[in-house]
Amino acid sequence: MKKIRIAMVGVLAAGALYTVGPSTATAAPTQVPLGAAQAQSKGNSAARTSGAPNTDLPLRLLAKQHGLGIGTAVDMAALAADTAYRERAAQEFSAVTAENVMKWSELEPTRGQYNWGPADELVRFAQRNGQKVHGHTLLWHSQLPAWLTDGVADGSIDSAELREIVRNHITTVVKHFRGKVRAWDVVNEAFTDGDAPVLRDTIFRQHLGPDYIAQALRWAHAADPKAKLFLNDYAIDNINPKSTAYYELAKQLRRQRVPLHGQGFQGHLDLQYPLPIDAPQNLARFDKLGLETAFTEVDVRFFLPGDTYKEAGQVGSFNTLLSACLLTPRCVMFTVWGFTDKYSWVPGFFDGQGSATPLDENFQPKAAYRGLQQVLAVASDPNNRRGF
Ligand code: XIL
């Protein structure tokens, strides 16, 4: 009887934490594995008493003991239509990033008319589920509204006007979400690839000049002084010319007292390229500058069909990045770019590739998911008997 009561209390507590759905009143409490409920109410003693370690807990529970946010990109169409998606998003993650709905083309499709609906819906979902919101993204050369790119291209928007438009966009968006968004990717993908990266030749660089990044950071900071301000890019997980370009920029901005607080590493990995095994050393140098770090968009793609070699490679890839984060004192968040293959962006963008997320199309855990659980659990070391 006593046992059942403990389990019930645990389940109720978990239910309260993980209540999901568009209307909280009707949503059934999400099923949380019994182990999770026990761990939550009894300080993970289940793992100690049952003999075998219980690593099969929601990622957010396992990450909590490290003070690490574990996040996912959220597809708002899936969130509205798919109950399993909604429940899992609430159950597994303590942070969310809008996969698309906070991008400029989505927020302001028509000049001067902001469409806040979907982004506000995500913020409400996050608040109901005790999740933090990572804002993505204020300035990016991609997914810009046509009125803006067309206007700049045909000269009807000149440099002075573009500067005002950018300042106004950053100010409006950051103020709208003030106190609701923990951190912003202020500029996304600012550098080119290759051996000698330079600032990408975007409309921002062309018309506002090379210090547009510093400007953007200052405007964002004025609009929400408490928000953490990040730069974010892909192919910078390792120590390489592009990550070094960010490191040098970060040093310069900090020296100039520009409000830069974090560096985001997207972490879109592909098994055909080398594993970013230097990620801990790479993150450490940003950490030493006093910056937060975060993996912001992790997925690990490969050419289909999968096989056991590829699955193993995928486990290693996810775990390499998660371990790098856990080894870095101020690595605050590990976010996957979609948690189920059912809605992953990968097959649509990379011909022949897929299977890039931790859960399959039916929300069943892959080895990659188990690997993340194990790394998070190992790092907590609940069975520590080391007398060495
Ligand atoms: C992707 C989304 O996942 C897609 O749905 C969209 O069509 C294109 O953008 N780097 C980023 C993300 O910073 O915003 C991108 O997201 C993936 C690459």
In a domain, 201, yes or no: yes
Q: What is the CATH number of the domain that holds 278?
A: 3.20.20.80
Ligand 1 near 185 CB (within 6 A): no
- Could you tell me if residue 387 is inside a domain? no
Q: Quick check: is 53 in a domain?
A: no
Per-residue pLDDT averaged across 162-180, rounded?
98
Ligand 1 midpoint to CA 388 (Å): 47
Confidence of residue 50 (pLDDT cuts 50, 70, 90): low
Q: Is residue 311 flagged as an active site residue?
A: no
CA 144 from chain centre, in angstroms, equals 21
Asked, as a colleague might, if the bond just before 340 is cis with ω within 30 of 0, I would say no
Whose tokens are 């106004």? That residue is 168
Q: Quick one: pLDDT at residue 388?
A: 82
Is residue 44 situated within a structural domain? no
Which backbone phi and psi does 153 adopt, to 5 degrees? Answer: -65, -40
Q: What is the largest CA-CA distance in the chain?
A: 76
User: How many domains, in total, are found in the chain?
Assistant: 1
- Mean pLDDT in residue range 255-262: 98
Instruction: Kindly report whether the peptide bond that precedes residue 197 is cis, defined as omega within 30 degrees of 0.
Output: no
Amino acid 375: pLDDT: 96
- For 309-366, write each residue's pLDDT tens digit: 999 999 999 999 999 999 999 999 999 999 999 999 999 999 999 999 999 999 999 9
Residue 194 in any domain: the answer is yes
Tell whether ligand 1 has an atom less than 6 A from the beta carbon of residue 296.
no
Bridge partners (DSSP) listed for residue 70 = 334
Q: Residue 385 domain-assigned?
A: no
Q: Is the pLDDT of residue 38 over 50?
A: no
Please state the length of the chain: 388
Listed residue (176, 180, 98) closest to 143, CA to CA: 98
Say if ligand 1 is within 6 A of residue 297 CB: yes
Return mean pLDDT, the chain.
Answer: 89
Which candidate in 87, 92, 108, 189 is catalytic? 189
* Rg of the chain over all Cα atoms, to the nearest angstrom: 21
Known active-site residue 189: yes
CA distance linking residue 17 with residue 211, whole number of Å: 44
% of the chain residues with pLDDT over 90: 83
Identify which of 97, 139, 337 to mutate to test ligand 1's pocket (most ligand atoms within 8 A of the CB). Answer: 337
Q: Residue 50: inside a domain, yes or no?
A: no
Q: What is the pLDDT of residues 68-93, one digit of tens each?
A: 999 999 999 999 999 999 999 999 99
Whether the Cβ atoms of residue 191 and residue 209 lie closer than 8 Å to each other: no
Domain assignment present for residue 199? The answer is yes
| pLDDT for position 9 | 30
State percent of the chain over pLDDT 70.
Answer: 86
Supply the pLDDT for residue 49. Answer: 52
The conformation of residue 101, written as its DSSP 8-state character, comes to T
Residues 118-139: pLDDT tens digits?
999 999 999 999 999 999 999 9
Query: Which residues on adjacent β-strands are paired with residue 187?
Result: 139, 231
Query: How would residue 52 be classed by pLDDT, with cut points 50, 70 and 90?
Result: confident
Q: Which domain holds residue 209?
A: 2-21+60-378
